[in-house]
Amino acid sequence: MKITYLLGAWGVLSTGALMAQQDPPVPVGQLNVNAAMVRDGVAPVLSWEIEYPSTVEEVIDIDPEDEQLTAKTRLRVQVSVVGVGLTDQYGKEYPAKSYINFSSVGWKHIFTGKGSQVDPFNHYIDRVVDEGEVIRFAAKVDENGYDYFYNESSNIRVLKNGDNPPGVSAGYTSQSSIADYLEPYIQNGKLSLGPMDLIYAAELTHTDTSHTGYDMQDAVILVRFTRVE
Ligand SMILES: [Ca+2]
């Protein structure tokens, strides 16, 4: 007789047809025991089948030079907006505009608006890409006189789970603290994202990295990948 224990709630969910296509955020698996009841003095045989979650680097190639992304497999791509942090010294908000580029279809608009207009639960983009798809990013302050910054610029950074939060890694003493909207994503001073998540952190107002306004938190976009068949 074989007894199967599911490890955790995600193990139960992962038996469903829908969840079977997605990567679990925590290790899931089965513990198999070869006997229903074990008598004193008898050692049962245990076997483990544990499936660990994929990490984003297994499914996405991140070019270290230009931070261009290339899909290594067929993926669902869901893009949400973590926040827009464009305010002046009086607290007045300014809008940012962001786009993502898929090599098969070109530039797609993500979001234009101020921080207070962001719906962090909305998927502004939700599409499936095939292996080999190249993904790029661009953003700007949505006001006259400001230019676009692209993923190849040092004003745009791609960050993953466990990386230093945007703005902190540079370590300037004058650096402002993490924006409110980033706090849920920080744990023990590091970015706490899903294992298949990336964020684009954008500095849109300054190019002088020593300026206090250079905080890499003007627009923060979350990209979540999920394997699809
Ligand atoms: Ca800025």
Domain check: are 79 and 158 in the same one? yes
Domain check: are 71 and 156 in the same one? yes
Domain check: are 47 and 125 in the same one? no
Domain check: are 100 and 164 in the same one? yes
CA 210 to ligand 1 centroid distance, Å: 11
CA 166 to ligand 1 centroid distance, Å: 11
Tokens in use for 33?
Answer: 């025991």
CA 213 to ligand 1 centroid distance, Å: 5
Would you give per-residue pLDDT tens digits along the chain (229 residues)? Answer: 444 443 343 333 333 333 334 555 677 777 777 777 777 887 878 777 777 678 999 999 999 999 999 999 999 999 999 999 998 888 899 999 999 999 999 999 999 999 999 999 999 999 999 999 999 999 999 999 999 999 999 999 999 999 999 986 544 444 456 788 999 999 998 999 999 999 999 999 999 988 878 889 999 999 999 999 8
Q: Note if the pTM is more than 0.85.
A: no
Domain check: are 42 and 74 in the same one? no
d(CA 5, CA 24): 17
How many residues are recorded in the chain? Answer: 229
Region class of 91: left (phi > 0), else alpha (psi between -120 and 50), else beta? left
Domain that holds residue 206: 56-227
Identify residues whose C-beta is under 5 A from ligand 1, the ion.
205, 213, 215, 218
Domain check: are 25 and 111 in the same one? no
